[in-house]
Amino acid sequence: MPFVVPRAPDLPPATWAAYGLTTLTVVPLVLRRRAPVLVLVAVLATGALYNFAVDGPGQPLPYTGLVAFYTVAELSSPPKRIAVTTLTAVAVLVSVGLDGQDLRELFFSLFVFAAAYAFGRLTVTRQAYLRAVEDRARQLELTHRIEAEQAVARERARIAREMHDILSHAVSLMIVQAEAGPVAVRTAPERAEAAFDAISETGRDAMVQLRRMLGLLREPEAPQHAPRAPQPGLAALPGLVERVRDSGLTVSYRATGAARPPGPAVEATVYRIVQEALTNVVKHADADTVHVLLDHGTGALALTVTDDGRGPNGGPGPSSGLGLVGVRERAAAHGGTATTGPGPDGLGFRLRVTIPWTVPGAGGGSERVGGETR
């Protein structure tokens, strides 16, 4: 400033030595984050030398000392902060006392240094808060990514189950009908015609279900073309049994108990389980008769499919075991269980699935009353 605005005539002129010491109070700040305590000591020492050795233009506030003290409060450990705070308070007392200033100047100097210390600690708190927010955001992002991956895996498993049930059932029935067709042509032409009609009907039904599924998968791209027909439910079980019966297998279906709608999701699950069970009988059991029993019990919806075939390890066709895995997964999705084993008197094969009754409550959950879920 003395080079821009001339100093008062009664003040001594500014010298290069004064500017040199002023520079020495600033240059150490470059290293303040590496060695904050040493930089503060260097700044205070240079300032003291300036006050005692040079009669220069001076500064109204020790700016560099405040910056260094702020850095100590931000970066140093508690013991160092206590020691440096004590040293700085003593330095301020000595400096104000030697300059002959009054009590007001002492309180003002202590206040500005205390403010610098407070801002340093607030910076630490703010940085800790920002780190916590960033960590929470990373955790949320990781959680969302894991949930998305799990949702994709569940959806892929669901699609695989649906495709397996639809294609396996349809193809199995078509193979059985096609193999019986040539024999029927030679012995009973009317049965051959019925077999070919069954093949055609089974194929058309499979195509309708596949189109429905593929339409739902493409719905985000073309929602106006996606089919809105519901999934098959309990009302479609007689038709399913009739199609399997057309293959030459004797199939009986009986529903007991007070019928009540379990909900579209459970109905679709029961339909697919019966479809898979009948498909396994056609492919692997080499059975003559199959009994399907649907019991609307007081505590649960129970499904039992029993055949008189060769049991779980019988049948001419290879089995991957994915069908029964899908049955268990479908039952577990509704809180139910699926058990398998030999039929009555150790003959044949029995599949039993139990799904508890659930009715959505006001909060979207389920409420269990006594032994029954409601």
Domain coordinates in residue numbering, the chain: 16-136, 233-374
What residue has token string 């049955």? 327
What residue has token string 């895996």? 153
Task: Say whether pLDDT at 330 is over 70.
Answer: yes
Contact in structure between 126 and 101 (CB atoms under 8 Å) = no
Q: Does domain 233-374 have CATH number 3.30.565.10?
A: yes
Question: What is the average per-residue pLDDT within 312-316?
Answer: 51
Position 59 scores a pLDDT of 53
289-296 vs 250-257, strand pairing mode: parallel
Contact in structure between 205 and 170 (CB atoms under 8 Å) = yes
Task: Say whether pLDDT at 369 is over 50.
Answer: no
pLDDT band at 55 (very low <50, low <70, confident <90, very high): low
Q: How many angstroms separate the CA atoms of 302 and 356, rounded?
A: 8
Position 304 scores a pLDDT of 92
Q: How many angstroms separate the CA atoms of 208 and 205, rounded?
A: 5
Position 94 scores a pLDDT of 82
The tokens describing 46, both together, are 């240079």
Task: Say whether pLDDT at 367 is over 90.
Answer: no
Q: How many angstroms separate the CA atoms of 170 and 126, rounded?
A: 65
Contact in structure between 290 and 307 (CB atoms under 8 Å) = yes
Amino acid at 86: T
Position 114 scores a pLDDT of 93
Position 216 scores a pLDDT of 59
Rounded to 10 degrees, what is the CA torsion of 357, 361, 363, 365? 0
Residues sharing a CB contact under 8 Å with residue 61, sequence separation 6 or more, in sequence order: 112
Position 285 scores a pLDDT of 73
Max CA separation in the chain (angstroms): 135
The tokens describing 141, both together, are 């992002």
Lowest pLDDT segment from 50-59, 60-69, 96-105, 362-371: 362-371
Contact in structure between 306 and 290 (CB atoms under 8 Å) = yes
Amino acid at 67: V
Residues sharing a CB contact under 8 Å with residue 81, sequence separation 6 or more, in sequence order: 72, 73, 117
User: Treating both helix axes as pointing N-terminal to C-terminal, what angle do 16-24 and 36-53 enclose, rounded to 10 degrees?
Assistant: 160
Helix (H) or strand (E) holding 339: strand 337-341
Question: What is the average per-residue pLDDT within 243-270?
Answer: 84
Position 302 scores a pLDDT of 92
Question: Angle CA(302)–CA(308)–CA(314) in degrees, nearest 5?
Answer: 105
Q: Closest Cα to residue 266, out of 213, 324, 334?
A: 334
Position 321 scores a pLDDT of 59
Question: What is the average per-residue pLDDT within 110-124?
Answer: 92
* Higher pLDDT pick, 372 / 4: 4
Q: Which spans in the chain are helix H?
A: 16-24, 36-53, 63-75, 78-98, 103-187, 189-217, 237-245, 264-280, 322-333
Question: What is the average per-residue pLDDT within 237-252?
Answer: 83
Instruction: Work out the number of other CB atoms within 10 angstroms of the CB of residue 346.
Output: 8
Q: How many angstroms separate the CA atoms of 152 and 154, rounded?
A: 5
Question: What is the average per-residue pLDDT within 93-114?
Answer: 81
Rounded to 10 degrees, what is the CA torsion of 136, 140, 142, 146? 150
Position 4 scores a pLDDT of 74
Q: How far is CA 144 from CA 135, 147, 148, 151, 333, in A?
A: 14, 5, 6, 10, 22
What residue has token string 């930089």? 39
Q: How many angstroms separate the CA atoms of 256 and 269, rounded?
A: 18
pTM: 0.47
pLDDT band at 97 (very low <50, low <70, confident <90, very high): confident
* Higher pLDDT pick, 323 / 237: 237
Q: How many angstroms separate the CA atoms of 322 and 80, rounded?
A: 68
